[in-house]
Amino acid sequence: MDAIVANPSSATAAAHVMPGSGFKVSARDCNVYYGEKHALKSVSVDIPDRSVMAFIGPSGCGKSTFLRCINRMNDTIPICRVTGKITIDGQDVYDQSLDVVQLRARVGMVFQKPNPFPKSIYDNVAYGPRIHGFAQSRAELDQIVMTSLEKAGLLKEVKDRLTDSGTSLSGGQQQRLCIARAIAVSPEVILMDEPCSALDPIATARIEELIDELRSNYSIIIVTHSMQQAARVSQRTAFFHLGTLVEEGETGHIFTNPNDKRTQDYITGRIG
Amino acid sequence: MNEHIVTSYEEELALLDKKIAHMGGLAEHNLGQAFDALERRDPRQAELVVKSDKAIDQFERDIEALVISMIARRQPMANDLRHVMVALRIAADLERIGDLAKNIAKRALAIAHESHPKPLMTGLGHMVELALKQLKAVLDAYSERDAEKALAVWRDDAQIDAMYNSLFRELLTYMMEDPRNIGISTHLLFGAKNVERVGDHTTNIAETVHYLVRGTNVADDRPKSDQTSTTLISHD
Ligand SMILES: Nc1ncnc2c1ncn2[C@@H]1O[C@H](COP(=O)(O)OP(=O)(O)O)[C@@H](O)[C@H]1O
Ligand SMILES: [Mg+2]
C-alpha cells in the first residue's frame, strides 16, 4: 500500500487536475500476458477522480485488457498473468488481503452489449445492494433502487413498470439499467467498455449525457471506438497501440495537437 | 504524413489547398495590376481589377462551403482539423487583400486625370513590390508547410511598416509645400495605407501557417511599427 510517487510524465497530467481532486486510479509498469502473448506492455497512467478518461486505439491494442486489470476481472482468465502495480486511492488492488468482491463493488463495470439479468427491472438494480447487504429494510432497498434509476436517467421511463423484465426494455434503456445496477452499490470508479457500440444515435446521446452527469461523483473510464465520442465525453484521453500506452493527455489537446505521430495517424484516419 | 485511408477525404484536403493557391494567386495578381493601373493612370485596367475581385469573393465562399461540408461529413481531427480551420482563416485574409487591391484600383479611377509626383509614386511602388514578395512567400510557406518561411514573412512585415512611415512623412511634406498637392497626396496616402494593410493580412496568414505546421502560436510579439498615428508635424 505504498503511496505512488509521481514520475515525470505524470507531473504534466497533474497540472490539469483541479487542486485537491487528486488521482483516483494509478497504474505503474502494468504488464499483462495471456500465456506467451504479451498483451499489455508497461502501462503507467494516473486517472483523476470525478472526471472521464477515454481509452482509444485500434482493436486488439489492449484497452479492454487494461480495463479488466483495474477491477481484477483478468483473475477469472486462467492463462492471464498481470504484473506491476495498480492502486485505487493509494490502495494496492492486487494486495493479497484485499477482498475481490469488495473491490468489484468499488469498481463498477458496464459492457458493450447491455446485459440485464432475466429478472425484473427492480431486481436488476436491487441485485448488488442485496448481495452486499447494503439495505437494512425493504424501504431502504426501495430508496436505493429509486435513486439509482434516477441517477441513471431511467426512473421516469420505468417507474410504473418496475416489475417488468429488464430484457423488455429497449437497448438504450437496458444499457441505462446496467448503469443503474452499477451505481446501486455506490462504486467509486465506473469502467465502461464500448457502452454505446450497440446503441442508436439518440440512445447514445442519452448515455453520453448521463456520463457527463455522473462524472461529478465518479471516476469514469470509457473505452470507445468513436473518436467523436471520446472528444465529447472525456476530459482526458489515452491512446493505446500494440499493447503500449502511446500518449495520454487533456482531450482537447489530444484531438487538436497530439504529440505522437502514431496518435495523429490514428485519430485522423491515416494508414499507420 | 501518411495518406488517409479514405481516398476521397485526402482528395478534398488537396482540393482545399488548390483553391487557396488559386485564390492567393488571384489576390497577388490583382494587387499588382491595381498599382499598375494607378501608376499608368489606366482606368480600363482599374475596372478589370474591380471586376475580377468578384472571383476572389467567390473563392472565399467556395472554400467556406467546402470546409463546412468537410466538418459536417468527416469530422476532421488534429492536423486535419487545423488544416480546414486554417484554410478558412487564410481565405478570409485573402478576401480582404482582394478588397484592398480593389480600393487601390478605385483610386486609380479617381486620380486618372491628375498629375503624379514621380518620386512618391516610386516610393509606393517599392511598398507594393515588397507586399507582393511577402504575399508570394507566405503562399509558398502554406503549400510547403514551411513554418520557418512563414516566420520570416512575419518578421519582414516591419519593413513594409517602415516604408509606410517614411512615405507618410514624405507625403505630408509634399502637401505642406503646396496645398494643390493635397488632393493627389491624400489618394496616395490612402493607397499606401491599403498596401500597409495588405502587409498586415499577409502577416496574419504567416501566423496561421505557423500554427498549422507547429500547432502553437507565434510566441514573441512582433514590434508594432506603424507610428503614423502618433506622428506630429512641427510648424516652424
Ligand atoms: N482471454 C484472452 N485470451 C487470450 N488472448 C486475449 C484474451 N483477451 C484478449 N486477448 C488478446 O490480447 C490483446 C488485447 O486485447 P483487448 O484488450 O481485448 O484489446 P482491445 O480491447 O483494445 O480491442 C489482443 O491481441 C487479444 O487477442
Ligand atoms: Mg475491447
Strand order in the sheet with A236-241: A107-110, A189-193, A219-223, A51-56, A236-241, A244-250
SS3 A192: strand
Structural domains in chain B? 2-214 (1.20.58.220)
Q: Residue B1 pLDDT more than 90?
A: no
Q: What cell was used for B119?
A: 518620386
**A64 Cβ inside 6 Å of ligand 1:** yes
A10's enclosing H/E stretch is helix A8-15
Q: Give one DSSP letter per residue of A72-104, joined into a string.
A: TGGGGSTTEEEEEEEEETTEETT-TTS-HHHHH
**Ligand 1 contacts CB of residue A137 (under 6 A):** no
Q: Which CATH architecture has domain A8-116+189-267?
A: 3-Layer(aba) Sandwich (3.40)
Threshold 0.90, pTM exceeds: no
- Of the candidates A228, A256, A269, the beta carbon closest to that of B82 is on A256
Task: Give the closest residue to A116 by CA, choosing from A182, A206, A50.
Answer: A182
pLDDT reading at A69 higher than 80: yes
Categorize the per-residue pLDDT at B181 as very low, low, confident or very high, splitting at 50, 70 and 90. Answer: confident
The DSSP-derived string for A198-227 is TS-HHHHHHHHHHHHHHTTTSEEEEE-S-H
Give the residue from chain B lying closest to A229, CA to CA.
Answer: B75
Lowest mean pLDDT among A262-271, B201-210, B220-229: B220-229
Per the rule left: phi > 0, alpha: psi between -120 and 50, beta: everything else, B127 is alpha
Contact assessment for residue A259 and residue A238, using Cβ atoms and an 8 Å cutoff: no
Residue A4 has pLDDT above 80, yes or no: no
| Cβ–Cβ < 8 Å for B193, B165 | no
Separation CA B71–CA B73 (nearest Å): 6
Residue A106 CA from chain centroid, whole number:
11
Which atom of ligand 1 is the closest one to the Cα of A68?
17
User: Does residue B145 sit at the A interface (CB-CB below 8 Å)?
Assistant: no
Atom 24 of ligand 1 has which residue's CA nearest to it?
A60
Q: Which residues pair with A240 in a beta bridge?
A: A245
Residues sharing a CB contact under 8 Å with residue A245, sequence separation 6 or more, in sequence order: A43, A44, A45, A238, A239
Q: What percent of chain B has pLDDT over 90?
A: 75
Question: How many residues in chain A?
Answer: 272
Q: pLDDT (tens digit, 9 = 90+) per residue, B127-172?
A: 999 999 999 999 999 999 999 999 999 999 999 999 999 999 999 9
**What mean pLDDT do residues A244-261 have?**
95
Distance in Å, CA A65 to ligand 1 centroid: 6
Q: Please list, in sequence order, all residues whose beta carbon lies within 8 angstroms of the beta carbon of residue A101, skipping any fewer than 6 positions away.
A: A132
ipTM exceeding cut-off 0.85 for this assembly: no
Residue B169's pLDDT is 94
- List chain A residues with CB under 8 Å of B76: 268
Flag whether pLDDT at A10 surpasses 70. Answer: no
Task: Say yes or no to pLDDT of A5 above 90.
Answer: no
Predicted confidence at residue B230, as pLDDT, reads 65
> Does residue A111's CB lie within 6 angstroms of at least one atom of ligand 1?
no
A227–B81 C-beta distance less than 8 A:
no
Task: Quote the minimal CA–CA distance from B214 to chain A in Å.
Answer: 9
User: What residues are neighbours of ligand 2 (ion), with CB under 5 Å?
Assistant: A 64
Q: Does A259 touch chain B (CB under 8 A)?
A: no
pLDDT per position as a tens digit, A163-180: 999 999 999 999 999 999
Give the Cα separation of B155 and B147 in Å (integer): 12
pLDDT for residue A36: 95
Q: Which atom of ligand 1 is nearest to the CA of A67?
A: 17
Choose, out of A247, A251, A264, A268, the residue to mutate when testing the contact with B (most B CBs < 10 Å).
A268
**If pLDDT is split at 50, 70 and 90, which confidence band does B112 have?**
confident
Choice from A30, A31, A34, A240 to test ligand 1 binding pocket (greatest atom count within 8 A of CB): A34
Ligand 1 in contact with A252 (CB < 6 A)?
Answer: no
A230: pLDDT strictly greater than 70: yes
CA atoms of A38 and A40, how far apart (whole Å): 6
Q: Give the minimum alpha-carbon distance from A73 to chain B in angstroms, rounded to a whole number.
A: 34
Could you tell me if A268 and B76 are in contact, meaning their C-beta atoms sit under 8 angstroms apart? yes
User: How crowded is the C-beta side of A47, counted as CA atoms within 13 Å?
Assistant: 32
Average pLDDT over residues A184-198: 95
Please tell me the distance from the alpha carbon of residue A264 to that of residue A256, in angstroms, as a whole number: 9
Measured between beta carbons, which residues in chain B are less than 8 angstroms from residue A263?
78
pLDDT digit string (tens) for B39-74?
Answer: 988 999 999 999 999 999 999 999 999 999 999 999
- Nearest CB among A228, A258, A265 relative to B75 is that of A228
Exposed, middle or buried, A95 (CB in 10 Å: 0-12/13-18/19+)? exposed
Instruction: Tell me the three state secondary structure of residue A247.
Output: strand
pLDDT at B95 exceeding the cut of 90: yes
Contact between B177 and B104 (Cβ < 8 Å): no
CB A180 within 8 A of CB A156: no
Roughly how many angstroms between the first and final C-alpha of chain A, as a whole number? 40
Report how far residue A240's alpha carbon sits from residue A124's, in angstroms, rounded to the nearest whole number. 34
pLDDT number for residue A70: 97
